[in-house]
Structure 1
């Protein structure tokens, strides 16, 4: 495969980032499915290091990772086949050009390095000096549309031969994740139908993702009142009016604690009505299934009627949305994602 030009590489990175955002994978948070695949890759290949690595236009995100548990003796025997470094605190992200995985994504094919020192192009890579890696096997990770999202890879701290059986096994292992991507797309389609019901709601509604509150969805009233903003943009940056009155602080609390948080009787003007108005904001953490980690925050705003706390209508609405989210996620074909509209 011919190497991509700089412009082609940049465009491909932007397309991967958008796809990862849609799938809810454009973050570094660990996920059990991917950690399991990394552990299987390490076991199958008898490798001390394995990752499921997603790569956007800026960074690499190791949402699946298996690393050895190092002891003090491991650090002093790099020439004897032992672990040269303590990897127990290895970060789950890296710059976009770090290591060998970006080469796998760029060339669109498997990369097997029996001994990195045999390849002048690779032996100077920071991964060699930082972690002591001497051999590497990386396989493109494709989604159900055929797009390469990253890699499933293993590495060792000593030279070794990656035979045909190991290479084919790694390819088969990467393909097991196709079903996960299909399920995420299926949930996305169902959530789009769910959000279509909310588009006509008479009060602002938005759904954000992750600790940085990336905007997944907003109904028409949200856009009219607080501003039309791009999909997947960081809420604090693009909605400064809501940031100024503390809405995102309340969302922080909801995301961190897993409990609904209220911001009551705050005064502000909206784009569709220049007169000062009082609003109650209810921020409800959202899970894609009852036992899943918190994936985002649903924020509903209603004009205050002098109550100290959000009215029953607002609370009932948020509870209903949460229940419907979890009902989708608890179905046999469990998946995860959402959509943002204005």
Structure 2
């Protein structure tokens, strides 16, 4: 749940974590490095450094290349050595995997030829272990005290990232308080599958109450049928707002079809980050009660606050992060 709350429970690459992985590879002179987040079912390599070939040689390895095409940026929850790091809650240094019967038969050895591994717990600002920062090599390695300490320090540099996400989550609650009193439906979704992160009362009354983190397209078929989730797909993919005008929708709180304009705005966790979700505001244009200038201005203001966050935010202005 912590990964879900922080917006880290996906396999999407993120520049911050890729940079840390590259720094780990360079510092330890290793051909493979990852920032790996682990939930109950899978591992997600949101940060990764793997040499692509002659133009990107592995640090100190003369161009050794790992083939990760078979698992891309994810792996089963029991694959490799990182789950052992999380389970024991401490750094794991394997100088030669073949010296440890417990690890010798791990699929990582057969699939990628890994012979040595150094993994450090990735701990957030609340003390929870979210995954690992790790490096690996195809030959035995002596992971000395300096390398171990350096990997620990590198892992701790990500504390500021987790603190930022928590700060943005706190600011999110301020916006939610505004959303709760809005006279029109608002929902916030996460990821390319549009998992429902938040919906205000009007959203539930009009389109149905659904569990948090449920896949929106599946639990809100009425909105899907009029193209709302296609518009959200486009906003998530392009990073630009999308609009659907005059969509006729059957709502739970009115027996007659209602016409809505849907405004879908991409949301980012921090300046420069990839799109993490979509804010969708529905404006009922059927009756005068929901089509006046005050409601339109409110929707525009909400959209602007999210866009400000994506552009770097404004001092003192409420902002939000998934």
The answer to whether the superposition gives a TM-score over 0.5 is yes
* Interval of TM-score (by shorter of Structure 1 and Structure 2): 0.7 to 0.9
Structure 2 contact 250–258 (Cα < 8 Å) conserved: yes
Question: Deviations along 1:33-91, whole A, 9 cap, x unmatched?
Answer: 1111111111111111100000011111111111123249x9xxxxx997364458861
Match of residue 169 from structure 2? 188
Residue number in structure 2 paired with 1:255: 236
User: Equivalent residue for 2:248?
Assistant: 267
Count of residues in Structure 1 that have an aligned counterpart in Structure 2? 313
Q: Would you say the 8 A contact 1:227–1:271 is kept in 2? A: yes
Change (3 A) 1:185 1:26: same
- Structure-2 separation of matches of 1:321 and 1:252: 20
| Partner in structure 1 of residue 185 of structure 2 | 204
Q: Paired residue for 2:158?
A: 177
Give the superposition deviation at 1:295: 2.2
Q: Where do 5+ consecutive residues of structure 2 fail to align?
A: none
- Partners of 2:46 and 2:147 lie apart in 1 by 22
Aligned residue number for residue 323 of structure 1: 304
User: Residues of 2 paired with 1:84 and 1:31: CA distance?
Assistant: 22
Q: Report the counterpart of residue 141 of structure 1 in structure 2.
A: 122
| TM-score normalized by the length of structure 1 | 0.83
Q: Which runs of 5+ in 1 are unaligned?
A: 1-17, 75-79
Query: How far is the alpha carbon of 1:291 from its aligned partner?
Result: 4.2
Of 19, 26, 29, which aligns to 2:12? 29
SS in 2 for 1:324: helix
Which of 154, 158, 161 is the equivalent residue of 2:142? 161
Distance apart, 1:326 and its partner CA: 4.2
State the partner residue of 2:83: 102
Question: Is residue 2:318 matched to residue 1:337?
Answer: no
- 1:117 aligns with one of 69, 84, 98: 98
Question: Partners in 2 of 1:281 and 1:87 — Cα distance?
Answer: 40
Rounded Cα–Cα distance in structure 1 between residues aligned with 2:106 and 2:17: 25
* Structure 2 residue aligned with 1:234: 215
Query: Distance between the aligned counterparts of 2:6 and 2:315, measured in 1?
Result: 18
Deviation at 1:114, TM superposition (A): 0.5
For residue 159 of structure 1, give the secondary structure of its aligned residue in structure 2. Answer: coil
1:284–1:84: structure 2 CA closer, same or farther, 3 Å change rule?
A: closer
Task: Give the TM-score of the pair, scaled to structure 2.
Answer: 0.88
Q: Is the CA contact 1:199–1:220 (under 8 Å) kept in the aligned structure 2?
A: yes
Q: Is the 8 A contact 2:165 2:269 kept in 1?
A: no
